Amino acid sequence: MKEPVNSPLGAADPNEAADALAAALEVRGLVAVIRGHGAVEAVNPAGEPDTDDPRGQVLSPGLRQEVICRCHGDDGALWWFWVWSGPTRESSPELEPLCPITDTPVAADRIARVLTVPFAGCCAESAAGPEGGAR
């Protein structure tokens, strides 16, 4: 798995971090789309509606989660943030700290855990501990 490269200032490059996170998510069975500006969308294919279900195609958002890279704290360190929709359609998204962008495996494990569908065959390895038990 490609780890992000740190810049001389100690902050990883957001584009390299997005590439590394996308690769780590794909290893965990997720589809990752890099949106630019430090945003990555993770999709669990097991949560997608059946292609022959027109109502499901329209009404089901599937299992998706966006994360975005932003400065966190007084030192300006770059972190991954969960992106949650605001309380209304007009609201800005709410951001919740996930982890530093240099912690690619931690970010990928946490995202995979959120998007796991038990017994669907996707993301099972990251949702279970070393012996298959819950973490």
Q: Does the predicted TM-score (pTM) go above 0.85?
A: no
pLDDT (tens, 9 = 90+) of the chain, 135 residues, equals 444 343 333 447 889 999 999 999 999 999 999 998 889 999 998 887 777 878 777 777 778 899 999 999 888 899 999 999 888 989 999 999 999 999 999 999 999 999 987 765 555 454 444 444 444
Domain assignments of the chain as residue spans, ordered by start: 14-127
- Is the CB of residue 29 less than 8 Å from the CB of residue 19? no
Predicted local distance difference test score (pLDDT) of residue 121:
57
Predicted local distance difference test score (pLDDT) of residue 122:
53
Contacts of 112 by beta carbon, 8 Å cutoff, 6+ apart: 25, 28, 29, 30, 42, 123, 126, 127
Predicted local distance difference test score (pLDDT) of residue 83:
95
